[in-house]
Structure 1
Amino acid sequence: MSAAADRPADHTSPVPAGTTAGAHAESTVLFHERLFPGPTVWVVAVAIGAALGLILVPLNLTVAIVFSAVCILAGLVLVYQYSPVLEVAHGRFRLSRAQIDVELLGDPTPLEGEEWAHTIGQGFEPLAHHCVRGWTRSGLRVEVLDPEDPITAWVASTRRPEDLALALRTAKQLQARQSL
């Protein structure tokens, strides 16, 4: 099964009373991270919004201030919306809008420093699914085991590669228990 379109995650699925947590463990969120950019991008979004408001100052100062505020708010919303989400929940690994069952993934490899730089540079895999952000200095690579999927691996920026790898391993173990 290849990566599918994003579905909204249900974060309000509590474990019913009288059942074991293991029976509903796949419905828990094991990892969640939104890759927000650094302060520079936020400042640039505000500066662009303010600059757009300056265009209208010769016409009317009040309209320019209101327009500037709306542009600043729109810029901040865009930065938030375009910050990808990494999530391991419901037996699936979600990377922005793409998702895949964890049982179709190999063992995750956390990458930092030189290893990460090599993976997204000279070691770039053209057939892998990439979600790389320049403001992170670490990431994760996990091989796709599905022979029918043309994607060879998922490569993702994350500030917590060890935690994401642990969540993927845990989700795979929970899936294996569910199938028994």
Structure 2
Amino acid sequence: MSAAADHASDAASPRPAPTGQEGSQPLFRERLLPGIGSWILAVTLGGVLGLVLVPLDLTVAIMVAIVAILIALVLAVQYSPVLEVSDGQFRLGRARIDVALLGEPRVLTGEDWRLVIGQEFEPLAHYCVRVWAPSGIRVEVLDEEDPTTAWVASSRRPEDLALALRTAQRSG
């Protein structure tokens, strides 16, 4: 089964933890929050929604604007992808793959990172990239049945993510 095609939501398909690891903490977890532009957009949209209601009633318009801004901010956080290494799997957003099917993680910063997400872009790789993040990792997919060539992910802590992947691969 293709790792990128496994898009089951967390709540819809609970999977039991492997024996002896029930309740175990993830080796790595990072939520990729939106960039500053998305936060500004969320606040602006909420404010505009309130502004539209000003001719009806100023108090209602202010209340609607505040509620709309709060809802937009909560949704921005809630729908941000999570990078997680736990229970022998690497989760990138909603996609999951067993760490045993991955090669050696490569930490990328600076020019190397810009090249991987730019000129050296791989159409068959699974990407979860935030343009504001100055670093990330690239991990080759070793599963011959999976058409995905690699997983590429932005991270503020790429060294920690690579270490967590290596640790999970050794303990698996």
RMSD over aligned CA atoms reads 2.2
1:17-69 deviations in Å (ceiling 9; x for gaps): xxxxxx53994310000011344432331122112101100111122112112
Name the SS for the 1:154 alignment partner: strand
| Aligned equivalent of 1:178 | none
Q: Tell me, yes or no, if the aligned pair for 1:102 and 1:172 is still in contact at 8 Å.
A: yes
1:18-167, aligned counterparts within 5 Å? 23-24=20-21, 27-167=24-164
**TM-score, length-scaled by structure 2:** 0.88
Which has the larger helix fraction?
1
Q: Tell me, yes or no, if the aligned pair for 1:91 and 1:101 is still in contact at 8 Å.
A: yes
- The share of aligned pairs that are identical, in percent, is 62
Once residues 47 and 26 of structure 1 are traced to their aligned partners in structure 2, the CA distance between those partners, rounded to angstroms, is 41
The farther-off stretch of 99-108 and 23-32 is 23-32
Structure 1's unaligned 5+ residue stretches are 16-22, 176-180
Task: Output the amino acid matched with 1:171.
Answer: A
Once residues 113 and 168 of structure 2 are traced to their aligned partners in structure 1, the CA distance between those partners, rounded to angstroms, is 24
**TM-score, length-scaled by structure 1:** 0.84
The farther-off stretch of 114-123 and 23-32 is 23-32
Bigger CA radius of gyration: 1
Task: Output the amino acid matched with 2:64.
Answer: F
Structure 1 position 161, deviation (Å): 0.6
* Matched pairs, number: 165
Structure 2's unaligned 5+ residue stretches are none
